[in-house]
């Protein structure tokens, strides 16, 4: 409030962030906002264009120590998702900022009889990866609902381990993070879904 006593409300210094940052804090009186760049992968400068204030979706997130657990799908182009890797046996995407997630939903081999075994890894820095799902020995197809312990996620990597046709590969058609259905498959919201990969 006075430019002398500052309270740190968000710390993303250990995470890869890009494009528009949608940052949430608990309600408080604020007069001044200070943003400090801590590192940059491409150069030594830190720039931002503008800061805007909005509370429209405050009811759609949970805020935990400055970290956001969204209820809506953040794996969308409109949420500044980037596809980092698109190969026959691997799909890797980067969210615009770190989110606390505990579920995802994938659409595999849409409309086809082919089945696939796959694994899912996540990371916050594109260096240290944790496997959160291992369905390498399964015969999976269509929608896959994945639930796991809450964790910070920036990168998501889906890797094919095997397919029912030797000359074919995994096609991850849609991705939701977090999943927009409950454990019974009932939609939570009518959010649009990202079409990551079409049929090749």
Q: What confidence tens digit (pLDDT) does each residue in 134-158 have?
A: 998 887 778 899 999 999 999 999 9
What is the CATH classification number for the domain harbouring 82? 2.60.120.260
In angstroms, rounded to a whole number, what is the distance separating the alpha carbons of residues 14 and 125?
A: 8
Task: Single out the residue of 92, 85, 181 nearest to residue 142, CA to CA.
Answer: 181
In the chain, the number of structural domains is 1
| pLDDT on residue 177 | 95
| pLDDT on residue 199 | 34
CB-based contacts of 59: which residues, under 8 Å, 6+ apart?
A: none
In angstroms, rounded to a whole number, what is the distance separating the alpha carbons of residues 177 and 104?
A: 5
Which structural domain range is residue 27 located in?
1-200
| pLDDT on residue 187 | 75
pLDDT in tens, the chain (200 residues): 999 999 999 999 999 998 888 888 888 899 999 988 888 877 677 777 778 887 777 888 998 777 899 999 999 999 999 998 877 788 899 999 999 999 999 988 665 667 778 899 999 999 999 999 999 888 777 889 999 999 999 999 999 887 666 655 667 778 999 999 877 677 765 433 333 333 33
């Amino acid at each position: 409030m006075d430019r002398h006593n500052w309270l740190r409300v968000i710390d993303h210094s250990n995470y890869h962030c890009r494009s528009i940052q949608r940052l949430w804090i608990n309600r408080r009186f604020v007069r001044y906002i200070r943003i400090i760049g801590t590192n940059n992968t491409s150069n030594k400068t830190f720039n931002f264009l503008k800061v805007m204030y909005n509370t429209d979706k405050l009811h759609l997130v949970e805020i935990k120590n400055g970290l956001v657990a969204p209820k809506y799908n953040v794996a969308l182009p409109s949420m500044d998702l980037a596809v980092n890797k698109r190969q026959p046996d691997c799909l890797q995407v980067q969210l615009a900022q770190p989110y606390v997630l505990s579920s995802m939903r994938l659409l595999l081999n849409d409309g086809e009889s082919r089945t696939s075994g796959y694994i899912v890894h996540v990371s916050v820095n594109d260096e240290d990866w944790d496997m959160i799902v291992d369905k390498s020995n399964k015969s999976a197809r269509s929608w896959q609902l994945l639930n796991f312990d809450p964790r910070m996620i920036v990168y998501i990597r889906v890797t094919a381990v095997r397919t029912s046709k030797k000359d074919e590969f995994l096609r991850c058609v849609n991705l939701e993070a977090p999943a927009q259905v409950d454990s019974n498959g009932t939609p939570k919201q009518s959010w649009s879904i990202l079409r990551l990969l079409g049929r090749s």
